[in-house]
Amino acid sequence: MNYSKLKAELAMPAYASMTDTEAATALNAVDVVRIKDSISGSKMFLSTDATEFASLTASKKSEWLSFCAIALHNPENNGVAHLFVNYVFGAGATLSTLASARSETISRATQIGLGLVSEGHVNNARIS
């Protein structure tokens, strides 16, 4: 456990009136949405809307299939993958499905690199 990180987090006003158990529960609650670091080409292909794909030109179909053959893509906002999906499909069902697929819900503890936080961890951080 990185107690200096945990201590800094616990110094925030949100945790001030919480017991050690409440603070650990809050830190471990899976309620923070973030964009994944990567998404596989196969996941992108499986997220393709069949009707949108069928309406593409032969050239765009070929480009899309080649793009999906790449092992991993970075799905960040306005990154290459995001802009390419928008170029191929526009703001339709495929873009919407991929927007959901690139997101994941994690805990605050995971977000700040702590992993699972126990009541004992909170107590140790507070008394150190």
Q: Write the single-letter amino acid at 41.
A: G
Is the domain of 14 the same as that of 43? Answer: no
With contact defined as beta carbons under 8 Å apart, do 110 and 33 qualify? no
Is the domain of 17 the same as that of 44? Answer: no
pTM metric for this prediction: 0.70
What's the total number of domains in the chain? 2
Q: H or E segment at 62?
A: helix 58-68
State the Cα–Cα distance between residues 123 and 125, nearest whole angstrom: 5
| Domain range for 44 | 37-101
Q: What is the pLDDT along the chain (128 residues), one digit of tens a residue?
A: 999 999 999 999 999 999 999 999 999 999 999 999 999 999 999 999 999 999 999 999 999 999 999 999 999 989 999 999 999 999 899 999 998 999 999 999 999 999 999 999 999 999 98
Identify the CA nearest to 34 among candidates 127, 103, 100: 103
Strand partners, 35: 103
